[in-house]
Amino acid sequence: MSGDLHSRLAASFARFADRTLVEMDGKAWTYAEIEGLSARLATRLVSLGVAPGERVLVQTDKSIETLLLYFAVVRTGAIYLPLNVDYTEAELEYFASDATPVLAVCREGTEPLFERIGKGKVRVTTLAELFADLPDEQAAPAPRKPDDIAAILYTSGTTGKPKGAMLTNANLAANGNTLIDLWRFTPEDRLIHALPIFHVHGLFVAVHCVVFSGASMVFLEKFESGAVIDLMARSTVLMGVPTFYIRLLADERFTREAAANMRLFISGSAPLSADIHRAFEARSGHRVLERYGMTETGMLTSNPYDGERRAGFVGPPLPDVQLRIAEFETGTVLPQGEVGIVEVKGPNIFAGYWQMPEKTAAEFRPDGFFITGDMGFIDTDGSVQLVGREKDLIISGGLNVYPAEVEALLDDRADVAEAAVIGVPHPDFGEAVVAVVQPSGAFDPDAVREEMRRDLAAFKVPKQIIALDELPRNTMGKIQKKLLRERYADLFAD
């Protein structure tokens, strides 16, 4: 089979033509219908100047039309550039100037904004305009090579300007093929799709697992526990972020009986606490399968389908991924069990950052391993445990504190729903360990600190614990530690 993404999608469109691919709001579309509509839409895109290698910027709500637009862009050989619907004008202006798209597809009512940021160089349209009186002609697929760029996804930009990760046809096709085997996807599966589709998780992992395997999916505009529980009786898989599982556990309707037809619950995009992991199994009888990936790489590791799924671990590397732990500054590979930077190599690793050759070169070792920025270690069974981002490492009084270790202790407490541990400037220690928690009942920070002294060395115990009604998160459910560090930067100021 060709290494380009459209050929991989087309093989499934043909093989499973009469099967349902996607449902939404009570309507259903077969594989053949989705292919036909996306091919007609591709004709419209070509008429608007979309050509192989051009960028198509997309900021639209989750819908069947947005899914069709993705398939149509792939068919034209252009580069799909999805954007979070919550981005501000300043962020959008940066993306438009950096990616130089030929076309921007936006939500109705936001056309003036995109006209402004496009500065007359970008054609602006909406989904409604694109789909109005679609031509009958189906555009022929543009020839593409495996190494040609299929999508650009901007990283969150926690430090400096966001970077556009270039994902190739081969990257996306290879990762999807690996995952459907690893997670045992078949045409009999029905995925509850409640994720956004401007992100690797919802667009590439979820959608590709379904299409490549001939399965079907139910599109939900957003996660709502009642709707998800209702769908479980005739579905088999849920892909989610930890927030999904926390909310399911908070819903009394979520029981072992409600989940009886499900075969797999997958969690990613943010760490799933061991406490939630255990509570979910006790309630549903299912052990969540946690995996680990990045915007730049797709999926890298996964707990096993068969065998133990260990709380706090993200499993061994995927079969086609090489993973090692190294010393960050020197690149020296570290022995098993030692904490260092996670480095990876494989067919799913991105081609580099858009228009940032120096940044790209800095993120790869001379032997081709990508430096993820995540800290972790490999256990005796080959499973990886992550302990935080390299930039999240706290150095207090010259001693290293890994936030994940402190967070795990807090998350295990009955009076803590979730915790985030950060380092903030301190006049004596350089950095002080601070815990920001969302309590789950009566909470006494001073008493908690005293109890933590029994399990942690004194330098790891938070100098202060701050209770919030809710921890700040991004749209994928990740706790925004950068915001917390900024908010409490002056906590110990003189």
> In terms of domains, do 478 and 403 share one?
yes
Task: Please check whether residues 351 and 399 belong to one and the same domain.
Answer: no
Which letter does DSSP use for residue 153 in this model?
A: E
Q: Is residue 447 part of a domain?
A: yes
DSSP summary character for residue 113 = H
369: Cα separation from own chain's centroid: 21
Domain that holds residue 375: 223-389
CA angle 331, 334, 338 (to 5 degrees): 130
pLDDT at 161: 76
Amino acid, single-letter form, for residue 379: D
Quick one: pLDDT at residue 160?
Answer: 60
Whether residue 189 is contained in a domain is answered as no
pLDDT at 158: 44
Q: Residues 110, 122: contact at Cβ < 8 Å?
A: no
CA 428 to chain centre: 38
Parallel, antiparallel or unpaired: strands 149-154 and 190-193: unpaired
The pLDDT of residue 494 is: 67
pLDDT of residue 493: 83
User: Of 80, 223, 71, 208, which is closest to residue 154 (Cα–Cα)?
Assistant: 80
Same domain membership, residue 404 and residue 279: no
Nearest CA among 123, 138, 173, 185 for reference residue 35 = 138
In a domain, 211, yes or no: no
Co-location of 362 and 440 in the same domain:
no
Instruction: Give the DSSP H or E segment for 326.
Output: strand 322-326
Give pLDDT, residue 396.
Answer: 85
- The verdict on residue 118 lying in a domain is yes
Give me 449's structure tokens.
């600190």
How far, in Å, are 50, 62, 227, 228 from residue 220 at the CA level?
Answer: 29, 8, 8, 9
Domain end (from 364, 389, 414): 389
Q: How many domains, the chain?
A: 3
At residue 198's C-alpha, the angle toward residues 192 and 200, to 5°, is 75
- Average pLDDT per run of 10 along the chain, which is 494 residues long? 84 98 97 98 97 97 98 98 88 93 96 93 96 96 96 73 93 97 98 95 97 98 96 97 90 97 93 88 96 96 94 94 94 95 97 95 96 94 89 79 86 90 86 93 92 86 94 82 91 83
The neighbouring-strand residues paired with 289 are 266
Same domain, 377 and 401: no
Q: Let me know whether 163 and 244 are in one domain.
A: no
Same domain? For 336 and 455 the reply is: no
User: Would you say 184 and 372 are in contact if contact means Cβ atoms under 8 Å apart?
Assistant: no
Domain boundary residue, one of 353, 370, 389: 389
Rounded CA-CA distance 179/302 in Å is 9
Measured CA to CA in angstroms, residue 370 lies from 31, 317, 386 at distances of 36, 14, 16
* Residue 293 near residue 268 (C-beta atoms within 8 A): yes
Token pair in block for residue 20: 């349902």
pLDDT of residue 159: 47
Are 424 and 363 part of one and the same domain?
no
Residues 152-167: b if buried by 16+ CB within 10 A, e if exposed: bbbbeeeeeebbbbbb
Residue 128 domain-assigned?
yes
Q: Which of 386, 179, 375 is nearest to 271 (CA)?
A: 386
